Structure 1
Amino acid sequence: MPAPRIHIVTLGVSDLPRSREFYEAWGWKASSASNENIVFLKGEAGVLALYGREALAEDALVEDLPCGFSAITLARNATSKEEVDQWFATALTGGARELKTPEEAFWGGYSGYLADPDGHLWEFAFNPYFVFDEHGNLALPD
């Protein structure tokens, strides 16, 4: 059995060019495999894809329901509190909506939440207990 991994996370978006610009402002790089229907953004450990919200619902054979809390967040973990603040400021400048200003967290770290232009939630966090490998990937213990 192959090792479990997530290769692509796809976000349904209402305005593909706007979302592409938003994520490129964070430093994501669009692949040449992108086209007018989908954008593939290359990350170090996977791909973030942007696809029209209605088209994504149609492809999955689900009804496109009004957007509310989806009980899903995406997280980006920093190596310091200052890095969290820097990422947060960059995202806000690019059009993110602040949900929770970065602050000391009950679990001993530092984190804040924001929403992208389509309301997808991102947590930017510093966890002093996390270790990163030589490639910058989170290295959880076995």
Structure 2
Amino acid sequence: MVPQRVSLITIGAFDLPALRLFYQQLGWAELDFSSDTYAVFNTAGVLLTLFPVSELADDAGVEIKQSAEIYNNVTLAINVETPELVDAAIAKIQEAGGKILRMPTEAFWGGRTSYFADPENNLWEVAWNPSSVFNDSGAMIKF
């Protein structure tokens, strides 16, 4: 059986220092075992890591077919506890240099949502879902 969990997400970085700086400017703190070639941010329940894309491809044994100019086919999400927090997060993301792709709007499913891209076009959603439930550490456990 495969455990049903996501423990760590790694974004392959084309320019690790610039991408690291963006996440630092969001106010995200790095863990002590980050290094010059690897950044680790602790989020609610999942570690987000940044690793040079060429080294990630070598490690996985694959060929790089993306570039920093192309949107990837994965969207990561930051879910928040109130609709106002969507707007506040997007304001901070814009201040840090994120590309706002969709300003905060009411969603057809009853929440509030917005999309942005980091400096290497990794897609993120910031969303409030009125039925979301978070645990004590801030991890969303159901909606």
State whether TM-score is above 0.5.
yes
Map Cα deviations across residues 61-111 of structure 1 (whole Å, 9 max, x no partner). Answer: 111113434321000011111100111111111111111111011111110
Flag structure 2 segments of 5+ consecutive residues without an equivalent.
none
The secondary structure found in structure 2 opposite 1:36 is coil
Instruction: Identify the range of structure 1 (105-114 vs 16-25) with the bigger mean alpha-carbon deviation.
Output: 16-25
- The residue number in structure 2 matching 1:75 is 77
Displacement of 1:3 in angstroms is 4.5
Aligned AA for 2:128? F
- The residue number in structure 1 matching 2:39 is 39
What count of residue pairs does the alignment treat as equivalent? 141
- The residue number in structure 2 matching 1:123 is 125
Q: Residues 83-102 of structure 1 correspond to what in structure 2 (within 5 A)?
A: 83-102=85-104
Displacement of 1:139 in angstroms is 2.4
Percent sequence identity over aligned pairs: 36
RMSD over equivalenced CA pairs, Å: 1.6
Displacement of 1:134 in angstroms is 2.4
Aligned AA for 2:47? V
Flag structure 1 segments of 5+ consecutive residues without an equivalent.
none
- The residue number in structure 2 matching 1:17 is 17
Is the CA contact (8 Å cut-off) linking 2:66 and 2:72 kept in structure 1? Answer: no
Displacement of 1:23 in angstroms is 0.6
- What TM-score do you get using the length of structure 2 for normalisation? 0.90
Structure 2 CA distance, aligned partners of 1:133 and 1:31?
A: 21
- What TM-score do you get using the length of structure 1 for normalisation? 0.91
Structure 2 CA distance, aligned partners of 1:122 and 1:79?
A: 17
The secondary structure found in structure 1 opposite 2:108 is coil
Displacement of 1:2 in angstroms is 7.5
